[in-house]
Chains A and B, each alone.
Chain A
Amino acid sequence: DTGVSQNPRHKITKRGQNVTFRCDPISEHNRLYWYRQTLGQGPEFLTYFQNEAQLEKSRLLSDRFSAERPKGSFSTLEIQRTEQGDSAMYLCASSLEDGGYTFGSGTRLTVV
């Protein structure tokens, strides 16, 4: 297992288009998290799964954002009708229940 994998690494999209990102966690990790990071800031929590259940969702996540984790394995984060303010690095992490999150390399989204 090579860690948390995120695809794509970079995505450039036109405003108004939909985008979907994928995260493949470490296989034995039952927890999966999505964070967003803008330049010069720390990551902001978006949502969290334990197995396939989405247990918490930040108020930062508007109705245009949705995340899924079917079968408790990989996860997808979809953004509909993208806006320029959505431009950021989207980070995925996974963990066991004792913390020590492992992060992926992130997907950098640029909305033009």
Chain B
Amino acid sequence: AQSVTQLGSHVSVSEGALVLLRCNYSSSVPPYLFWYVQYPNQGLQLLLKYTSAATLVKGINGFEAEFKKSETSFHLTKPSAHMSDAAEYFCAVTINNRKLIWGLGTSLAVNP
């Protein structure tokens, strides 16, 4: 069975600091991996996706993620945090490109 683990339910960074949100997956076959962002009382917005092409994936708002098969990881990074980045971030995996299996989410706080 596929699963996703997001390490750290809450992450706090200072404005301008590096953002690192961790995601590890479990899959017996090559997965597709996604990061989504959710602002309060809103739906989910796709940040980026990995679909077996380049292992370093660039997304919107300056975010990127690197697929590391040996570590079964797909961590999300941003070099410099902005106040507007404060939100809930979800990592998700799909194997058959049908339903998404989600992590529990990481709440990112950005301090001035």
Contacts and interface: CB of A to CB of B under 8 A. Distances in A.
A97 B105 contact: no
Contact of B49 (A40, A97, A99, A103): A99
A42 to B, nearest CB: 3
B45 interface: yes
A2 interface: no
A97 B97 CA distance: 7
Interface string B67-90: 000000000000000000000001
Interface in A79-112: 91, 93, 97-106, 108
Given A99-B49, A99-B94, A100-B49, A45 B44 contact: no
Contacts of B99: 33, 45, 48, 56
Please tell me the size bucket of the interface on B. 20 to 34
Contacts of B32: 99
Contacts of A101: 34, 46, 100
Contacts of B98: 31, 48, 55-56
Interface of B: 32, 34, 36, 41-46, 49, 51, 90, 92, 94, 97-105
18 contacts: A6-B43, A31-B98, A33-B99, A33-B100, A35-B100, A41-B104, A42-B103, A42-B104, A42-B105, A43-B102, A45-B99, A45-B101, A48-B99, A98-B97, A100-B46, A101-B34, A101-B100, A105-B42
Interface of A: 4, 6, 31, 33, 35, 40-45, 48, 55-56, 91, 93, 97-106, 108
Given A42-B90, A99-B97, 13 more contacts: A31-B98, A33-B100, A43-B90, A48-B98, A56-B98, A97-B97, A99-B51, A102-B46, A103-B45, A104-B43, A105-B42, A105-B43, A108-B41
